[in-house]
């Protein structure tokens, strides 16, 4: 089973991490190429392109111009991302077996790095997949990454049991061209809903955390059989067969 997560905008490059293992990103040369394109932009242009405020744009400008393995801090991807989903993943409490299983089964999709394994060493950056950054392959990052990430993902699925647990957002998962994947692959996209007076509704902040918690659940229990995912019960969630389809599994609380 291959699990996908989206990255996070919030980063934590403090030295604290629960593993000494590390690896290099598969697409580091492509990341360098994209960063070189970004180097041509002024702070105001970065703000306009990424739809962020001037303070954030200046921070990103500094990331871009210090994107050098000799001078920039580096950290394992699963520990460096610090958004809501990664609160749920909580890699700070992983032991060696967790890290090993995660390295074999978890893929973090990224606008700059393409596809990352949990122990891949990354530098501070901000580049969302939906950013319309013109490049050598087209008008945006989907044009840039679709072929490479799809081929990479096809290989990873073929090396595993051809099950894709899609815990990434549509912004990121749609970069993968399903036509390039094994014909007999299975995709499972979990959906997390809360009970309200209007029925079961998806609440973004809770859904993001739940994606990370489910990734953690699979990693810590070393799940290979997808049916076992339906036993996920973290923080009160339970599988709702009556709301689910073959490819969209709904969990409620």
pLDDT at 42: 98
Mean pLDDT of 88-106: 98
* φ, ψ for residue 206, nearest 5 deg: -75, -40
What is the rounded CA–CA span in Å between residue 133 and residue 84?
A: 26
> Residue 55's pLDDT band (boundaries 50, 70, 90)?
very high
Overall domain count for the chain: 1
**CB of 8 closer than 8 Å to CB of 112:** no
Percentage of the chain exceeding pLDDT 90: 99
Look at residue 16 and tell me whether its pLDDT is greater than 90: no
* Closest to 185 measured CA to CA, from 154, 145, 211: 154
What is the rounded CA–CA span in Å between residue 74 and residue 72?
A: 6
* Residue 60 included in any domain: no
* Residue 109 included in any domain: yes
* Residue 224 included in any domain: yes
State the CB neighbour count (10 A cutoff) for residue 196: 9
The predicted model scores a pTM of 0.97
What is the rounded CA–CA span in Å between residue 171 and residue 7?
A: 11
Mean pLDDT of 117-129: 98
* Residue 182 included in any domain: yes
Look at residue 43 and tell me whether its pLDDT is greater than 90: yes
Kindly compute the dihedral angle of the four CA atoms of residues 110, 113, 114, 115, in this order, to the nearest 10 degrees.
Answer: -80
**CB of 84 closer than 8 Å to CB of 212:** yes
What Rg value do the Cα atoms of the chain yield, rounded? 18
> Residue 211's pLDDT band (boundaries 50, 70, 90)?
very high
Q: What is the pLDDT of residues 132-190, one digit of tens each?
A: 999 999 999 999 999 999 999 999 999 999 999 999 999 999 999 999 999 999 999 99
Q: Tell how far CA 43 is from the center of its chain.
A: 26
pLDDT at 181: 97
Expressed as residue numbers, the domain containing 179 is 2-25+74-252
* Residue 32 included in any domain: no
Percentage of the chain exceeding pLDDT 70: 100
* Residue 175 included in any domain: yes
Structure tokens at 196: 């309200």
Look at residue 221 and tell me whether its pLDDT is greater than 90: yes
Mean pLDDT of 231-248: 98
Mean pLDDT of 195-206: 96
* Residue 49 included in any domain: no
* Residue 39 included in any domain: no
Mean pLDDT of 62-78: 97
How many helices (H) and strands (E) are present in the chain, helices listed first? 9, 10
Look at residue 98 and tell me whether its pLDDT is greater than 90: yes
User: Which residues is 10 bridged to in the sheet?
Assistant: none
């Amino acid at each position: 089973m291959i699990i996908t997560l989206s990255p996070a905008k919030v980063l934590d490059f403090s030295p604290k991490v629960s593993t000494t293992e590390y690896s290099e990103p598969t697409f580091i040369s492509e990341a360098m190429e994209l960063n070189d394109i970004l180097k041509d932009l002024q702070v105001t242009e970065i703000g306009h392109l990424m739809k962020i405020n001037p303070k954030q744009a200046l921070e990103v400008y500094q990331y871009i111009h210090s994107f050098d393995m000799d001078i920039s801090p580096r950290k394992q991807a699963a520990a460096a991302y610090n958004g809501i989903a990664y609160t749920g993943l909580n890699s700070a409490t992983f032991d060696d077996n967790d890290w090993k299983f995660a390295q074999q089964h978890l893929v973090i999709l990224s606008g700059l790095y393409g596809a990352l394994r949990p122990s891949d060493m990354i530098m501070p950056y901000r580049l969302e997949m939906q950013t319309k950054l013109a490049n050598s392959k087209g008008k945006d990052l989907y044009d840039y990454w679709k072929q490479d990430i799809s081929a990479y993902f096809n290989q990873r699925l073929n090396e595993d049991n051809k099950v894709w647990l899609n815990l990434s957002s549509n912004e990121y998962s749609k970069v993968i061209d399903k036509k390039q994947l094994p014909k007999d692959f299975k995709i499972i996209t979990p959906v997390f809903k809360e009970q309200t007076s209007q029925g079961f509704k998806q609440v973004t902040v809770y859904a993001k955390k739940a994606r990370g918690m489910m990734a953690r659940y699979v990693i810590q229990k070393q799940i290979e059989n997808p049916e076992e995912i339906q036993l996920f019960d973290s923080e009160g969630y339970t599988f709702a067969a009556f709301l689910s389809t073959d490819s969209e599994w709904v969990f409620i609380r």
